[in-house]
A = this chain, B = another copy of it.
């Protein structure tokens, strides 16, 4: 877990403000749920491996006897837990508040989640997730709205050029069925395919051969991969840039893929292309898997040329709301990788041109000093007051690091004279103040 110092916190809030404002403009509504959910709900099998990583809240008022009685069933010690994602709470929220929500509900959630990860580089036990979800729309309009809004967020953050890899869980299943994998074999085959980015197509084939799978499907699938990646073109050159269109999907996949799924994806490709122009930001990736078990249809991942890792992702989870509501409701969500985006923007210019540190003497009258400050604040200037220290340079360096652009000395006699503005950054003197 991390403390955020002023410069980091300011950058995080700036990014959050853009995300919040843009998603809102696209018709999404922000909601908030408590950080704690019922223990039983967090351990109902919907969170995958994250359930094991959840922090549990000790029941209040446990006495010695109650604690001893719980020794053989630790679940008895806790009645609540900290959420490990925002999807389980959203499903619970929707089931609780459905009557007060629009039929098609577009939700924004921007909030921390907690996982008891072992400390390692780049993993935190508390981190912020930014999710948008559309509940109650089974058409590809939902996916299109999620994607267009999220690409707009990236644009506004100065990260133009994002693209989204798209696939559908049902296509993956149909492909594996086509090659003859038995239903019970398919989950482990998907785990191998999911490693394609890391170990390449040779690695995947090797991985499949090592497992206790039927030989014929493995070899037929291997031939298909060879055709796609070697005979046809390299994955880098072609596979990674296939548009999401009916022709492209049919060309890359075996015959007899389910018609409605192909139609859903090609509609989506067409719609996003209509809005985002000819430089199509949607790419068909027949080997995108995504780990979470609750996905039932379209799945997608956000990519950006500046980084190799994904900047977000999501998919359809039409079955999950039904677990809470007892009635199936279609749902699709997109989670933008807030922590990764903040890291990516670390070097961005964080200085506020309209900001000044007033360095006053010990004998500057307090009333007129604060009056001067108030007048500047009123004019939209950010103002920090500092009493002149022995080491002025150290103080000014700190102010520059904290995002201030100017400083001005203020003496008892000069409180209301024009400010003698000086840039904090020697290279920044040409920045406009007013």
Partner-B contacts on A (CB < 8 A) = 1-6, 9-10, 12-13, 17, 20, 24-27, 29-36, 55-58, 60, 62, 64-65, 67-68, 70-72, 74, 77-78, 80, 82, 93, 96-97, 100-104, 106, 112, 114, 116, 125-126, 139-141, 144-145, 148, 152, 267, 270-271, 273-275, 366-371, 373-374, 377, 380-387, 389, 395, 398-399, 402
Contact across chains for B112 and A35 when beta carbons are under 8 A apart:
yes
Contact across chains for A126 and B35 when beta carbons are under 8 A apart:
yes
Write the nearest CB–CB distance from A334 to chain B, whole angstroms: 15
Contact across chains for A370 and B100 when beta carbons are under 8 A apart:
no
Write the nearest CB–CB distance from A385 to chain B, whole angstroms: 6
Contact across chains for A366 and B144 when beta carbons are under 8 A apart:
yes
Question: Chain B contacts of A104 at CB under 8 A?
Answer: 385-387
Sample (15) of A-B pairs whose CB atoms are under 8 Å apart:
A3-B34, A4-B33, A6-B29, A25-B377, A35-B112, A62-B74, A67-B67, A77-B77, A102-B395, A102-B399, A103-B386, A141-B366, A141-B369, A141-B370, A145-B385
Write the nearest CB–CB distance from A6 to chain B, whole angstroms: 4
Contact across chains for B31 and A6 when beta carbons are under 8 A apart:
yes
Question: Chain B contacts of A32 at CB under 8 A?
Answer: 3-4, 9, 12
Write the nearest CB–CB distance from A270 to chain B, whole angstroms: 6
A132–B185 Cα gap in the complex (Å)? 58
Write the nearest CB–CB distance from A360 to chain B, whole angstroms: 9
A136–B367 Cα gap in the complex (Å)? 20
Most buried by B among A29, A144, A273: A29
Question: Chain B contacts of A274 at CB under 8 A?
Answer: 367-368, 370-371
Question: Chain B contacts of A97 at CB under 8 A?
Answer: 3, 5
In the assembly, how many copies of this chain are there?
A: 2
Known contacts A9-B30, A13-B30, A377-B26; decide if A386 and B58 are in contact (CB<8 Å): no
Contact across chains for A31 and B56 when beta carbons are under 8 A apart:
no
Question: Chain B contacts of A370 at CB under 8 A?
Answer: 141, 144-145, 148, 271, 274-275
Question: Chain B contacts of A368 at CB under 8 A?
Answer: 274
* Chain B, Cβ-Cβ closest to A354: B25
Contact across chains for B77 and A71 when beta carbons are under 8 A apart:
no
From B71, B389, B402, give the contact of A68 (CB < 8 A).
B71
Question: Chain B contacts of A144 at CB under 8 A?
Answer: 366, 370
A82–B173 Cα gap in the complex (Å)? 44
A366–B137 Cα gap in the complex (Å)? 13
A381–B1 Cα gap in the complex (Å)? 38
Question: Chain B contacts of A385 at CB under 8 A?
Answer: 27, 104, 141, 145
Question: Chain B contacts of A30 at CB under 8 A?
Answer: 6, 9-10, 13
* Chain B, Cβ-Cβ closest to A78: B58
* Chain B, Cβ-Cβ closest to A403: B29
Write the nearest CB–CB distance from A52 to chain B, whole angstroms: 9
Known contacts A71-B64, A366-B141, A370-B148; decide if A383 and B27 are in contact (CB<8 Å): yes
Contact across chains for A389 and B6 when beta carbons are under 8 A apart:
no
Question: Chain B contacts of A27 at CB under 8 A?
Answer: 373, 382-385
Contact across chains for A275 and B71 when beta carbons are under 8 A apart:
no
A165–B61 Cα gap in the complex (Å)? 38
Write the nearest CB–CB distance from A297 to chain B, whole angstroms: 17
Question: Chain B contacts of A145 at CB under 8 A?
Answer: 370, 373, 385
* Chain B, Cβ-Cβ closest to A93: B3
* Chain B, Cβ-Cβ closest to A147: B370
Question: Chain B contacts of A275 at CB under 8 A?
Answer: 367, 370-371, 374
Question: Chain B contacts of A377 at CB under 8 A?
Answer: 25-26, 152
* Chain B, Cβ-Cβ closest to A375: B275
* Chain B, Cβ-Cβ closest to A370: B275
A354–B114 Cα gap in the complex (Å)? 37
A65–B148 Cα gap in the complex (Å)? 54
